[in-house]
Structure 1
Amino acid sequence: MPSIKQMYQRTIAIQPHFHPQYQTKIIDMEGIYYTSERPAEILARSCVKYGATFDGRRDTAMKLTNFIQKTPLLVAEVYKIIALPTHSPEHKDCA
């Protein structure tokens, strides 16, 4: 079984998926997977797992980078995981 670090290193994208059961499409080096969790829920859970809330990380990134829109989000510093949104987090097409 791969380590958590290896799993995160394989993830390429987390995209919204408009389906009655599956809300998110996860693309990684091994293939494509679907989950009933929304992309924002996955990111929020990941942020908390690594010591901060989604909103806390976003607020800090906005202050440090002066990005107000499409703010890069440091999800897990230890694994160098950064989310680069394609739209506003509230937008239905944000990936």
Structure 2
Amino acid sequence: MKKAMSYQIGKKTQALEPRYDQYGNLCTIVHELHETYMVTKSPKQIIEENCSFYGCDYEGRLKSAKQILGLKQMVPIPLSVALGVYTMPTCSPDSDKCFWLFLGHIKKIEKYGQKSAEVVFTSGQSLVVDVHKDTLEVRHAKMALLHYILTKRTGVYEKWESRLGLSELWRLL
């Protein structure tokens, strides 16, 4: 596994997994489509740094997502609307057990034991998280809704609708 001091989230990022290193420091296992990294920062630190990298701080993105969706907690974050990079926490973002999952890579969510879920990615990889399947599915749906609303507001769908026609666009989705 590759080690890094920082990490730039992109379209290949599937999940950020919290993990303590041998010295007791909270680090992150980054799951990409074809690679895995160990980053010496917490998942939330990576999210905050990438929010700034993509043009707005974490608090600003959190506040706007809360307003758009009418949520108070467990809010998905639009890291980059232009790239379609959205993420959601599996529990409180301040928890050392919080995974961050990325839209577009989640193939399905399956029940795993009594209170856990297995997230299966489009790459075939999977992770088990300590969140009930139904709860995770609702959060995933809210992340997809946030993606739809922001994409609609930025006019991306209209561009495709004019090129392909409305019925052709929805057939592709």
TM-score clears 0.5: yes
Q: Which residue of 1 aligns with 2:88?
A: 84
Q: Which residue of 2 aligns with 1:14?
A: 16
- C-alpha separation in 2, matches of 1:37 and 1:14: 11
- C-alpha separation in 2, matches of 1:31 and 1:49: 22
Instruction: Return 5+ residue gaps in structure 2 as ranges.
Output: 1-8, 100-173
Instruction: Return 5+ residue gaps in structure 1 as ranges.
Output: 1-6
Which fold has the larger relative contact order, with Cα–Cα distance below 8 Å and residues 6 or more apart in sequence?
A: 1
Cα RMSD for the two superposed structures: 1.5
Q: Which residue of 1 aligns with 2:52?
A: 48
4+ residue segments displaced more than 3 Å: none
Alignment deviations for residues 22-69 of structure 1 (CA, whole Å, 9 cap, x no partner): 600000111221010111111111111111100110011111101212
Structure with a larger share of its residues in strand: 2
TM, length-normalised to structure 1: 0.85
Secondary structure of 1:82 counterpart:
strand
% identical equivalent positions? 22
Indicate yes or no: 2:36 matched with 1:32.
yes
